[in-house]
Amino acid sequence: MSSTVIYSHPVCLEHDTGEFHPECADRLRAIAHILDREEFMYVPREEAPAATVEQILRAHSRVHFDNVMGAIPDDGCVELDGDTFVSPKSGDAALRSAGAACAAVDEVATGRSRNAFVATRPPGHHAEREAVMGFCLFSNAAIAALHARHAHGFKSVAVIDFDVHHGNGTQQVLWDQPGTFYASSHQADAFPYTGLAEETGGPGGAVVVNVPLPAGTGSEPFRAAYVETILPRLRAFAPDFVILSAGFDAHAADPMAHFRLQVADFEWVTRELLAVARETAGRRVVSLLEGGYETRALAACVAAHIRVLMEG
């Protein structure tokens, strides 16, 4: 068994969002560059397969799937909403991102690796059942969670989202899904303006834990949100599979929001979440790249995140 495996695909570099768009291929190039370091030399790499329609339709309607794939242009860049753009390779990239999430679940569920990191784009946590949003086409974390439940029979699957933006799409897709858990720490009064503490899940569906934090949040209140609220609720849920929506845009250098976290904070939260996975989930963790738009900070955060994953 390897400790960690990394999933990616070259087509994710060809998802062209247009000039000056923050969610760009340079994000993956920065990650790939730092993962070329000697310390990561022996971490296995896998090419992401395309998701099946069945995997996508656990989280999205057929209408949504057809609308996304039907919007992919033969040439140029097409705006689907004010933030979300597609180009000729975007459909393949989106299928590979969702497929990587499911393949990573398969890898970890069958015991071939203890955990996995998925370095793909487009990200997913804003995509709702019937809508693209916030750079996202398909809800990768929710697709992974439902794949873990339906394909592998896990009874209690948790998604923890430490992106600076609330994962409205993941929450919406999982809202009425029994045996699931969604927790998010995020900036209050920031896009997508969801994730109130009062949003706690539907009857018989997901357990939802939202901890909105003010602009300017740094290490101490961020860590307190986990120690006082998210980690106790997660332990009470006792997940048998853990999925991380790993957004790194809460870093102080990131231009997309106003948290003041440092690399050490992402290292800390990763270690704390892996501790829960050791206690209840047989160390089974799949981590999916979400946000992070200042490429040097993103690469440093991902490197720290993967180092902790490699510890298992």
Per-residue pLDDT of the chain (312 residues; tens, 9 = 90+): 779 999 999 999 999 999 999 999 999 999 999 999 999 999 999 999 999 999 999 999 999 999 999 999 999 999 999 999 999 999 999 999 999 999 999 999 999 999 999 999 999 999 999 999 999 999 999 999 999 999 999 999 999 999 999 999 999 999 999 999 999 999 999 999 999 999 999 899 999 999 999 999 999 999 999 999 999 999 999 999 999 999 999 999 999 999 999 999 999 999 999 999 999 999 999 999 999 999 999 999 999 999 999 998
Cα distance between residue 28 and residue 15, in whole Å? 11
Distance CA 43, CA 283 (A): 17
- β-strands 85-86, 78-79 pairing: antiparallel
Fold exhibited by the domain 2-311: Arginase; Chain A (3.40.800)
Paired residues of 184 in beta bridges: 161, 210
The Cα angle at residue 250 between residues 238 and 271, in degrees rounded to 5: 40
pLDDT at residue 115, as a whole number:
98
User: How confident is the model at residue 1, as a pLDDT?
Assistant: 74
pLDDT tens-digit readout, 55-84: 999 999 999 999 999 999 999 999 999 999
Residue 266, token pair as written in the block: 């992402």
pTM (global) more than 0.75: yes
- pLDDT for the residue 230: 99
Catalytic residue numbers read: 126
Which two three-digit tokens encode residue 262?
């440092």
Residues 278, 247: contact at Cβ < 8 Å? no
User: Is the separation of the CB atoms in 56 and 40 below 8 Å?
Assistant: no
Asked if 105 and 49 count as a contact pair (C-beta separation under 8 A), the reply is: no
